[in-house]
Structure 1
Amino acid sequence: MVRRKRNVSQRGGRQQANSAGGDEPDIYQEMLAEAGVAAPAASSPERPLKRRREDVPSHSKPSKPAEPTPAPIAIASTSNPIQGKSLDEEDEEDDDDAEFEDVAIPEPTIQTVELGSDEDEDDEDEDLRFEAVDLMMPLPDGDSESQEPKELELNLSAQKSAMTSKQAADRRRPITKEERERRLDIHKAHLICLLSHVARRNHWCNDPQVQSQLRSHLTDKMIQYLTPGTNLSQFGRTESLKNGLKLVAEMWTTKYEITERGMRRSLWAEEVEHLNSYEPPSDLESCLDKSDFREAAKTFQGSRDVGAQLYCALLRSIGVRARLVCSLQPLSFGSTGPTLPKPKENLKPKAAPNKTEQMLSQVAKYREMANAVSSAASPAGPSTARRRLGHPNASDYNFEPKAAPYRARQSFEAPKRIRESPYPVYWVEILDVGHQKWQPTDPVVMNSFWKPKIFEPPITDKENSLSYVIAFNADGTAKDVTRRYAKAYTAKTRKLRIETALDDGRQWWNKVIKMFRPKTPSDLDQIEDNELAGVEAREPMPRNVQDFKDHPVYALERHLRRHEVLIPGATPSGTVAAGARAPLEKVFRRKDVRVARSAEKWFRLGREVKPMEIPAKWLPKRVISKRSRFGEHEQREDDDGDAGTPIYTIDQTELYEPAPVRNGRVPKNKFGNIEVYVPSMVPKGGVHIVDEHARRAAYVLGIDCAPALTGFQFKGRTGTAVLSGVVIAKEFEEAVRAGIQGILDIEQEVEDEKKRYVALKLWRRFLMGLRIRERVWSGVGEEERRQADRDAEFEAWAKGAESDETEEFDMVVDEEDEDGGGGGFLVGDDDADEGGGGFLVE
């Protein structure tokens, strides 16, 4: 059958006839093989009508004709490719077009090519990109359509999900319980080290050589203002002190130069590897010894911390009562604070390799072009100012640039800018004698005085954090003055301190700061304590919802714990909103919050719920996995009610009164004991005797008793009842105590008898040894015996065989004891009853 020729309109305005014969490959079959679509079998000799091109997706039509691309795999076929085609296959087929631009590629391959074309725009990269997509080899006909698109989707989604999960994981990493405990210990140790450091610097401020060096910078006018006389009024003395501080601050600002970096906030490293590439700044403070401190007093250069310390020494040199104040910067014990910045190589975004290489290559090309142009356009010789300006005729002018000595000197001597927190770490407090009040002053950073609330940095400051502010006096004593400088000490600052991190945090901090307190507080100390307490009491209500959490004065209903409820009729003290459009929430006093417990927990505290009481709250169910008796009992309580476990406040309970002791009989529970968790649970007419022998004494005397259950001891998930003593009738108390004493006396007698038996056994061994010795030396003269003793002692001392002979002697005596005294030598007739006498002959 001769193949017909027909003209097909091409999308580029071109027409091409496909000849029946020839060795040219069939492009359509090749593209079907590349796309993984099974080739249709020839079943019908007639060609069905072709549908219109309207159903073809718009993204499959190329905007411009592409150059023909050779197929990577040629398929030899002698069958007619236009026979046996369905309507769907005819819609995408063009048997007379041998160009790639007229073939509709299946959708999965087209999507991949479009993604590649969005990344690169060069024609050469398009060919490489098509070859990369063409890695799909022809698959079997049955699986090709289902596997290929699925593989492309999984690759994209997996990469996206992996990147998203990694970013989410790096956003915040909560610390474990062990890590928190370790950070708390490090926080404590760091606090003690910082206190010792500041105490050392405060001692340097009293150095006479430093003070004499700094006193020379003060004028008589400054000294007169700073030391007002007692003849002035209270207001006059304060104003004189302010004027003197103003003059000294002006002098200090003009003379002192900051050349180094001072103390900054300590940061944690998220990973150990981040510390390997960490390098401290090159401009760290170099004042490490008193000699360096004296040198800084001469040169008036150093860090701003040294500047504040020198300023304190300056004021003390003329008799002004000045305290060195430091805002300690310890390592935080939580995970919310800022961390050490990561190394640059870890923060660098991972771009596609082809983009990076292209950018680097293009930059290199631009540099080569610029160098070539500059070398071709400019003559050989030194670069001039106009040539650097880029003027087209600048190279025609040959003149030497004149140096500007003033500018060069100014740029060379310009002080290096040190990037630090705009808030100080060290400053000075002076005593306003007129008002008996300590006032802050700082001429180095803030350049202010009498303004304590401006020293607190914001929470976003990564270089400085105000949590512990300690003021050191000239005599070495110190005081915690954090409440004077914190704007929200109760709401914010208190959460950064060790006092809220541990149950005994306040006691620990008081114990540490007690080492720096004076032995006997003065009147000025008491006045300052009252002032700080008033500052804390006058702190206003927080404006942020998060600050109400664990606040000691105010509370929100959303922040109440599981076992906390508000008392009935609690009056709100105000309202607060979480945002501009959020609803208002009522703010209650913390004193209106009560702790509620279940009936069994109240019973363990010696109280029971009053009858007909409505629960203050119903706790939701929760699974209790403990296998102890207590845990199983609570699990049954949760399962009994649909609403959960009812809890009650202390106002809904009353003191528990157990059944009294009657006729000497103690009431017991089903386990045969009595629950005495608190002393008030001892029944009337009974007494609780805590002694390990009390139960035995009562049993010996025939008195009824009940073991006292005082609590439970939990090890892991297992609970064990703790029995301590017994409860008996009160009239039998003396008898039981006497029985206990009798048991103790008997035990003491048994112990004495054991000791007596051991002593007699040792004496028997000693006497047996003496008898054996006497029998051996009975036929030897006195002088010969003495000589033998001396020789034996000398040999034992010389050879060190004394211990060996003693061991052999003990073995012989033990063998004689085991035989009932038999064997050995005959000592006398008195030993005949003990089995002694003569040698034993086998």
Structure 2
Amino acid sequence: MAPTPPSSARAPPTVDLTQSDSNSDDWDDVPLDVVAPAAPDDAGSEMDDVDVDGAHNAYAELYDAVPDAGVSTTQESTPAPSLQITFAQPPAKAKRTSTVTTTPRDRKNRLLVHQVHTLAILAATRVRNRWCNDQTLRDTLQDMVPSLLLHKLQAIHPRLEPERRERVRMFESFMTELVSWWHARFHVHARMAAAAAWRQPSQDLWQPAPAPAHTWIDGWCVETPLEREQRHKRETRSKSHTQEVAIFPTGEHASVPTYLRLLPPPEAAASPKQLCAAARRRLGSRETKAILFCALCRSLGIPARLVVSVQVVPSAASKGPARPPPRLSSPSDEEDEMYIEPVDDKAPPTVWVEVYSRPYQHWITVDPVRGFIKPTGVRHMEPLPSQRQNKLLYIAAFEEDGYARDVTARYTRTLHTRIARLRPSVRGQPWWASVAQALHRPQKLDRDAIEDVELEDQTRREPMPTSVGAFKDHPVYVLERHLLRDQVVHPPHRVGTFQGEPVYLRVNVIKLLSARQWYNVGRVVKADEVPLKWARQRVYTTMSKRLEEQTRATSGDEAMEGLFADFQTQLYVPPAVHNGYVPRNAFGNVDLFVPSMLPAGGTHIRHPLAARAAKQLGVSYADAVVGFEFRRFKSLPKMAGVVVPTESAELVQTAVAELEESEARNEAAKAQRRALKNWSRLLTALVVSKRVQDEYGAAPPSAVPTSEERAPQLSTEKRQLCAPEPAPEPTPEPIAETPVPSSEPAEQPARVRGPIVSLEEMVAAEARASSSPVHDTPSPAAPKRRRIVIKRSTPTARRSARFASRERPSYDESDE
């Protein structure tokens, strides 16, 4: 497809469609002089001189065969000079295989590129549709119309011709003459049409092998990294910018990307002003010819649509062999020329026009490129499946107000057979349906409703598929082999045969359920009903699997169950509540899968405290089973409230409310008790912490012994005795001091400050405190004190103590 020039995103103009939205002709309110007649000399019908300016056309060297002024206007298109085609000869060893190895990431990228490409083409068409509303362009095109055609258009009016059938004939005759005049007036240059064609994108970029340098692919040129760097230097000096893109080839292994630069536009038609210039020159591409004809019809007051067949890169990898890519000659090579694949003039275009006939109340297909008008586009606008340049996938028609409609069903007879399979789906949902809904007008006009009926009718008239795979998931036809386990054709009226197999309509396919499944939806099978189909019984739980194995071992056959249709069932009526007693099933519950299964005279109360309230009041009740859930191959019922008699329902609900208040008070009391208990713990911890700080205090940083000073100075026996036990040692309790009586008073040594971890550290700290004199005069010897460390006895500690008493040497307290 030709590159799309950037354009500002503006809101579509608002057009009053009141005149075209009516079941009648709506010509009474249209004045007779709605179209100004042209000059009487009919100067616009003559052939103007054609001038192709090379300064305004980057491909001016390609347009060396411009028609002269004396060329007859009855030709199909301007004859093009002979093309010199040069294919690059690939190396003998570097053969491109037909199979393309793609990874899941490549498939995801292809889908994303497919979606983005589709939206980009629709956006470009919407911009060109807005250009058709330009007033200057309309005035320019209206001045070119001969006065004879304008008088014929004015004559199609209910006041002048009251017969509707005659007005329909006059309108079709006028459109035929207008299309013939425009087809003869505007010429399509072969090379310009080939360079600017909206056609199927090339598949060369999706092959695993990168494209060679100087290859022209859809308006892009492949360049080497060195040429790309040199171009960047030139653009930096000239302060210019060329659009470029880097594409990595598909496959698991990363390689050098393919660098592409955008070539200059082959046709100067990127604005309404340039479209006016193309209309005066009467020369351009096929797409420009269709766009200008759409603007011409709107300038004459005829509702017209700009229709585009989106030529988008396929979402799936191609399986065919890759063709040699075209080469673009380098500046040093004067023999080669750029090869542009020509466009078949007889092939259907990708852009055309639809006009609305007010007398006929239908949209009519107009092909201004090939110069004919048809009431419908089927068999005329659909390309052949063998064409590579044109693939019919999405067709959108843009109206004057900027909205669009999906009209694919009007131009194909294989919408569900072939085209629907080519469209990708996202998460199982058709992606194009959401895009078409976003493009559609929010409010539906009367003519839109008529068109919907027409498109649906054409969809129903789709011919029968020609392959077995096309029948699968077909919305109209179905084969019996493609039916699911719970599907059957009823009534079995066949509409044809395919390879000796009967073909049925999809609308006659109904869904079947077993008696157990019908009971789960509140229906039961009628008496003396014969199953329409027998199928293998489905097993979900361990118990059902055991029963199936038992049946197979007993009879040797598979466990089968009968399937019934909806018309073979009736509504399930449960037993009614009698004398205040709620009937129950074999498990003491009430099956309440659907609301219709509620017993007569009963009320369902969905509250977790309803059973407790009914039990306290002595009211008859039964738990309600609303479904089943399967966990670990077990079927577990889901309970939701109880069923009570209707006369006791109000009393039970009142009791439920009282229980709720009681539960709320209990929860508040529990929360208060937990808070008071937590506060008590906090205050106790604070008191204990305060007493420990007051009693022992915190030693200054300089007084805290280091790890070297804490090293035990005990004997080998003490070290073995004080070795760490396997279990973690609990935090010691406060130490109780027992003074030893002495005959003479002595000065008490300074209290050891700091945390006391073990007996050894305490002894070492007292030794250091006693060895360092506080006063100059020696202090008398302090009496010995016996310190006892109280530890909590645990099973681990007791086992460690027994083990130490058997194997370790005895410990004498006098060693201290």
TM-score interval for Structure 1 and Structure 2 normalised by the shorter chain: 0.5 to 0.7
* Aligned equivalents of 1:446, 1:632: Cα separation in 2: 75
Q: Deviations over 1:292-350 (max 9, x none)?
A: 564355246665334432332233233332101122345666x6x846866989xxxxx
1:473 aligns with 2:399: yes
Distance 1:471 1:616, change over 3 A: same
Aligned to 1:433: 358
Is residue 604–residue 677 contact of structure 1 (8 Å, CA) maintained in 2? yes
* Aligned equivalents of 1:742, 1:629: Cα separation in 2: 43
Shift of 1:738: 2.0
Is residue 270–residue 340 contact of structure 1 (8 Å, CA) maintained in 2? no
Structure having the higher Rg: 1
Aligned to 1:281: 217
Shift of 1:438: 1.2
Aligned to 2:594: 678
Shift of 1:562: 2.0
Distance 1:190 1:270, change over 3 A: closer
Distance 1:716 1:501, change over 3 A: farther
Is residue 697–residue 743 contact of structure 1 (8 Å, CA) maintained in 2? yes
Point out where structure 2 has 5 or more consecutive residues left out of the alignment: 1-96, 221-263, 326-333, 692-816
Aligned to 2:473: 550
Question: Counterpart amino acid of 1:283?
Answer: G
Shift of 1:243: 1.0
Paired residue for 2:369, among 433, 444, 451? 444
Q: Deviations over 1:371-393 (max 9, x none)?
A: xxxxxxxxxxxxxxxxxxxxxxx
Is residue 228–residue 241 contact of structure 1 (8 Å, CA) maintained in 2? no
Aligned to 2:303: 321
SS for the counterpart of 1:570 is coil
* Aligned equivalents of 1:701, 1:274: Cα separation in 2: 83
1:577 aligns with 2:492: no
SS for the counterpart of 2:531 is coil
SS for the counterpart of 1:206 is coil
Aligned to 2:134: 207
* Aligned equivalents of 2:392, 2:450: Cα separation in 1: 24
Q: Deviations over 1:756-815 (max 9, x none)?
A: 9999999xx9xxxxxxxxxxxxxxxxxxxxxxxxxxxxxxxxxxxxxxxxxxxxxxx975
Distance 1:303 1:695, change over 3 A: farther
Identify which range, 257-266 or 602-611, moves more after superposition: 257-266
Is residue 355–residue 366 contact of structure 2 (8 Å, CA) maintained in 1? yes
Aligned to 2:349: 424
* Aligned equivalents of 2:575, 2:505: Cα separation in 1: 40
Shift of 1:206: 2.0
More helix by share: 1
Shift of 1:566: 2.9
Shift of 1:707: 3.4
Is residue 413–residue 459 contact of structure 2 (8 Å, CA) maintained in 1? no
TM-score by length of 1: 0.52
Question: Counterpart amino acid of 2:277?
Answer: K
Is residue 269–residue 275 contact of structure 2 (8 Å, CA) maintained in 1? no
Distance 1:621 1:678, change over 3 A: closer
Shift of 1:475: 1.1
SS for the counterpart of 2:639 is strand
More strand by share: 2
Higher normalized contact order (CA 8 Å, seq sep 6+, divided by chain length): 2
Distance 1:338 1:645, change over 3 A: farther
1:559 aligns with 2:482: yes
Distance 1:635 1:555, change over 3 A: farther
Paired residue for 2:291, among 309, 322, 337? 309
1:487 aligns with 2:430: no
Is residue 545–residue 576 contact of structure 1 (8 Å, CA) maintained in 2? no
1:262 aligns with 2:197: yes
* Aligned equivalents of 2:649, 2:216: Cα separation in 1: 74
Is residue 258–residue 303 contact of structure 1 (8 Å, CA) maintained in 2? yes
Question: Counterpart amino acid of 1:599?
Answer: A
Paired residue for 1:691, among 607, 619, 640? 607
Identify which range, 430-439 or 730-739, moves more after superposition: 730-739
Matches within 5 A, 1:608-757: 608-620=524-536, 627=541, 642=557, 644-662=560-578, 664-669=580-585, 673-713=589-629, 721-749=637-665
Distance 1:560 1:419, change over 3 A: same
Distance 1:272 1:671, change over 3 A: farther
Shift of 1:560: 2.2
* Aligned equivalents of 2:212, 2:543: Cα separation in 1: 55
Is residue 580–residue 620 contact of structure 2 (8 Å, CA) maintained in 1? yes
Question: Counterpart amino acid of 2:485?
Answer: R
1:526 aligns with 2:449: yes
Aligned to 1:595: 511
1:237 aligns with 2:153: no
1:295 aligns with 2:270: no
SS for the counterpart of 2:197 is coil
Is residue 252–residue 443 contact of structure 1 (8 Å, CA) maintained in 2? no
Is residue 689–residue 726 contact of structure 1 (8 Å, CA) maintained in 2? yes
Shift of 1:617: 2.0
Distance 1:652 1:189, change over 3 A: farther
* Aligned equivalents of 2:443, 2:626: Cα separation in 1: 44
Point out where structure 1 has 5 or more consecutive residues left out of the alignment: 1-166, 346-407, 579-583, 766-812, 824-842
RMSD: 5.2
Matches within 5 A, 1:512-523: 512-523=435-446
Distance 1:723 1:630, change over 3 A: farther
Distance 1:754 1:620, change over 3 A: closer
Shift of 1:632: 7.0
Shift of 1:484: 1.7
Paired residue for 2:125, among 174, 194, 198? 198
Shift of 1:452: 0.8
Question: Counterpart amino acid of 2:458?
Answer: V
Q: Deviations over 1:356-413 (max 9, x none)?
A: xxxxxxxxxxxxxxxxxxxxxxxxxxxxxxxxxxxxxxxxxxxxxxxxxxxx9xx999
Aligned to 1:248: 182
Shift of 1:751: 6.8
Question: Counterpart amino acid of 2:197?
Answer: G
Distance 1:423 1:240, change over 3 A: closer
Shift of 1:473: 0.8
Distance 1:606 1:266, change over 3 A: farther
Question: Counterpart amino acid of 2:348?
Answer: Y
Is residue 253–residue 444 contact of structure 1 (8 Å, CA) maintained in 2? no
SS for the counterpart of 1:657 is coil
Shift of 1:249: 1.4
Is residue 424–residue 446 contact of structure 1 (8 Å, CA) maintained in 2? no
Q: Deviations over 1:41-98 (max 9, x none)?
A: xxxxxxxxxxxxxxxxxxxxxxxxxxxxxxxxxxxxxxxxxxxxxxxxxxxxxxxxxx
Q: Deviations over 1:175-215 (max 9, x none)?
A: 99x99999888876665555444323322222334445555
Shift of 1:258: 0.9
Shift of 1:637: 7.6
Aligned to 1:10: none
Q: Deviations over 1:672-715 (max 9, x none)?
A: 54432222233344333333443443344444444333334467
Matches within 5 A, 1:9-88: none
Question: Counterpart amino acid of 1:730?
Answer: T
* Aligned equivalents of 2:209, 2:648: Cα separation in 1: 73
Aligned to 1:458: 384
SS for the counterpart of 1:316 is helix
What number of residue pairs does the alignment pair up?
Answer: 529
Distance 1:490 1:658, change over 3 A: same
Is residue 222–residue 248 contact of structure 1 (8 Å, CA) maintained in 2? no
Aligned to 1:788: none
Is residue 227–residue 319 contact of structure 1 (8 Å, CA) maintained in 2? no
Shift of 1:240: 1.6
